[in-house]
Structure 1
Amino acid sequence: MCRNIKTLHNFEPPATDAEIHASALQFVRKLSGFNKPSQANEAVFERAVAEVSDAARRLLTSLHTHSPARDRAVEAEKAKERSRLRFG
């Protein structure tokens, strides 16, 4: 999995449209191998990002869990600590 794609389910506050779009963009970049598509491929690239964003949004609104929502600040702090331990 691409490390830049973050888990968006079960957070408080819920994932924003910008976060969903960013994850979709990373996913399409990974699949296509393009960081920035050529002009010939730009339209299909953007359409793919939009379709993946829509599918991700539908998925996130359809998922149910009994676990309490995670706090973004707490999770970010845990990630910083893991990074500090890993890279010093």
Structure 2
Amino acid sequence: MCRNIKTLFNFDPPATEEEIQAAALQYVRKITGFNKPSKVNEEAFDRAVSEVAMVTRKLFDSLETSAEPRNREIESERARIRAAKRFGTTS
């Protein structure tokens, strides 16, 4: 999985459309190898990003879980702690 794509499901508050769009963009960039497509590929690239975002929203809307929604601040702090342990930083 692409390291830049973060888990977005089951958070309180729920993932925003901007977060879903950013994840879709990262996914399409990863699988195409394009950071920015050429003019000839731009329409297909943009369409793919939109479709991936739409399918992601549909997926989130159809998923069910009995788990409590995760808290964004707590998850961010856990990620900072993991990064500090992994890379030896204190930021």
**TM-score, length-scaled by structure 1:** 0.99
1:68 offset after TM fit, Å? 0.3
In structure 2, the partner of 1:82 is: 82
* Count of equivalent residues: 88
1:61 offset after TM fit, Å? 0.9
Structure 1 moving runs of 4+ over 2 Å: none
Structure 2: give runs of 5+ residues left out of the alignment. Answer: none
Separation in 2 of the partners of 1:46 and 1:29?
Answer: 10
- Report 1:1-88 matches (<5 A): 1-88=1-88
| Identical-pair percentage | 58
Question: Residue 37 of structure 1 aligns to which amino acid in structure 2?
Answer: P
Separation in 2 of the partners of 1:44 and 1:24?
Answer: 14
Separation in 2 of the partners of 1:36 and 1:86?
Answer: 31
1:7 offset after TM fit, Å? 0.4
Q: Deviations over 1:32-84 (max 9, x none)?
A: 11000000100000000000000000001111000000000000000000000
